[in-house]
Structure 1
């Protein structure tokens, strides 16, 4: 084989490698933009449903697409394309209205036009109390984040969606609120950890539909103690096998 032939072969091999890498990156970009986006839970506001160290996939097509569906959120268009309204009780990822560079995850409680209020720790929607049943206590600090028993209440929304909430502090600051009237094109979000959640009762406010990123779908990995998934040596002690491949409800 001549020197020229060897050089051409090497160039061809390098070109093929670059081509494969570019195609893989484009495929990953398309999947992340239009299908699934990985998301890690940054805080305890959704306990006991979601814990810090949970890694989950968010379905991007669930609510259609806005500029916030795209990497870096370029201001290419307004509103939503192929939009679909969230259902009450969905666990949704959205852009924090005061600072859209931040991702938040909460449960959809109020739809456009709803009247939302908390009275003595009980949720009211349009003047009707949402059924709230005490189902026991959790003593595991990995779930509650505190080293004491915590009361757990199960709420059932008008559409039948049920989920557990934590009551860390009876008569907490968010247990009694004014009545909120959700504006058109907006949603009212709340965390399941009712006494430790910055949500629509506080600085989050009403969330514009344009800010919705997607619906939380499935937990694909979970690790405790603030460990990184890359710290493989910690998996035997800190990984939470019982949470793997659990659907988010």
Structure 2
């Protein structure tokens, strides 16, 4: 997928920027400390070692982010050692100087972290890519949040559902969805809680039909949602017979969604009438989108919304609330997937 490739190249670009800036500030620090016999080869060698070790610690932190507290503490201590102690030792060893002069040479490199942070905050995240951790399972099995797992009785594939809050009891079976979009009831999901997917979102893309989009929730813009874009600006959306009808024409699902059926009726005695049905079609304005979750039976999406942004339909996500398009699930490694 081309945008996943762009994401990976952008990460490489950030690494190159980090390498160059750290090396430049190290050179400045060496001059400040009046270190003799400074050569480009030594500066490059020291920079490679330090940047490589920083990446190892960052990878370890990612690996332990959903691990035991002991591992998380180890990651924090490792970051401290790599950030402060190791660069000083590397400089002292490479340039054959005392500990104090090595510290003096290292101090300006702290500015490289500042410049890197500014690059990420003011350029990379707002305009190129931003990463998110998924908390819920409305988009399961495509993207999962914190979840229980089970086994599908229909096909044997893994199933997913959201874990109940601690202290709550399961009253009867729970809805689960498998990798082949079979929705089944389970009385005995595995109660080990697994962490949520980490996704990369391209901020420069305009959402198209079937894209996964991250957006500000219209009823509370401080909360970010991720759903699948179904209806585009100016279209009429109807969910019928498990499928999507746009302006009266049934849409063919992408191959990756084969088996998915969308729900157009809510269960329960006092269930609300849903938007996007033949009785209540969703008519989108010129800058509005209609979104649905892949776990249709468990997703709170455009079908259910009762209050929208001022001047917009209650079921719509305004273009101004769109944050970007999901291109990649990059972690955990066994769920790595290119979406676009």
TM-score (norm 1): 0.61
The Cα of 1:21 is off from its aligned counterpart by: 2.2
CA distance in structure 1 between the aligned counterparts of 2:297 and 2:319, rounded to whole angstroms: 25
Partner in structure 2 of residue 46 of structure 1: 139
- Indicate whether 1:106 and 2:227 are aligned: yes
Partner in structure 2 of residue 68 of structure 1: none
Structure (1 or 2) with the greater helix fraction: 2
Partner in structure 2 of residue 66 of structure 1: none
- Indicate whether 1:247 and 2:333 are aligned: no
Give the counterpart of 2:326 among 209, 216, 221: 216
CA distance in structure 1 between the aligned counterparts of 2:338 and 2:235, rounded to whole angstroms: 27
Partner in structure 2 of residue 28 of structure 1: 120
- Given that 1:122 and 1:175 are in contact with CA atoms closer than 8 Å, whether structure 2 keeps it comes out as no
The Cα of 1:123 is off from its aligned counterpart by: 2.0
- Indicate whether 1:163 and 2:163 are aligned: no
- Given that 1:117 and 1:124 are in contact with CA atoms closer than 8 Å, whether structure 2 keeps it comes out as yes
Instruction: Work out the number of aligned pairs and report it.
Output: 177
Larger Rg: 2
Give the counterpart of 1:19 among 83, 98, 111: 111
- Indicate whether 1:189 and 2:291 are aligned: yes
The Cα of 1:14 is off from its aligned counterpart by: 6.6
- Given that 1:48 and 1:165 are in contact with CA atoms closer than 8 Å, whether structure 2 keeps it comes out as no
Partner in structure 1 of residue 30 of structure 2: none
Q: Please, which runs of 5 or more residues in structure 2 have no aligned partner?
A: 1-33, 35-97, 146-195, 268-273, 309-314
CA distance in structure 1 between the aligned counterparts of 2:263 and 2:208, rounded to whole angstroms: 29
- Given that 2:240 and 2:264 are in contact with CA atoms closer than 8 Å, whether structure 1 keeps it comes out as no
CA distance in structure 2 between the aligned counterparts of 1:49 and 1:176, rounded to whole angstroms: 22
The Cα of 1:184 is off from its aligned counterpart by: 1.1
CA distance in structure 1 between the aligned counterparts of 2:221 and 2:264, rounded to whole angstroms: 32
- Given that 2:232 and 2:290 are in contact with CA atoms closer than 8 Å, whether structure 1 keeps it comes out as yes
CA distance in structure 1 between the aligned counterparts of 2:232 and 2:339, rounded to whole angstroms: 20
Partner in structure 2 of residue 235 of structure 1: none
1:1-249 superposed matches below 5 A:
12-13=104-105, 15-29=107-121, 30-52=123-145, 53-63=196-206, 86-131=207-252, 155-156=253-254, 163-164=257-258, 166=260, 172-173=266-267, 177=277, 178-203=280-305, 205-222=315-332, 241=334, 243-244=335-336, 246-248=337-339
Partner in structure 1 of residue 78 of structure 2: none
Q: Could you report, residue by residue, the CA deviation over 1:222-241 in whole angstroms, capped at 9, with x for unpaired residues?
A: 2xxxxxxxxxxxxxxxxx62
Structure (1 or 2) with the greater strand fraction: 1
Q: Could you report, residue by residue, the CA deviation over 1:37-70 in whole angstroms, capped at 9, with x for unpaired residues?
A: 111112111112111111111111113xxxxxxx
- SS of the equivalent of 1:45 reads coil
The Cα of 1:165 is off from its aligned counterpart by: 5.8
- Given that 1:164 and 1:192 are in contact with CA atoms closer than 8 Å, whether structure 2 keeps it comes out as no
- SS of the equivalent of 2:297 reads coil
Q: Please, which runs of 5 or more residues in structure 1 have no aligned partner?
A: 64-85, 132-154, 223-239
- SS of the equivalent of 2:257 reads strand
- SS of the equivalent of 1:34 reads helix
CA distance in structure 2 between the aligned counterparts of 1:192 and 1:215, rounded to whole angstroms: 16
CA distance in structure 2 between the aligned counterparts of 1:56 and 1:19, rounded to whole angstroms: 29
- SS of the equivalent of 1:49 reads coil
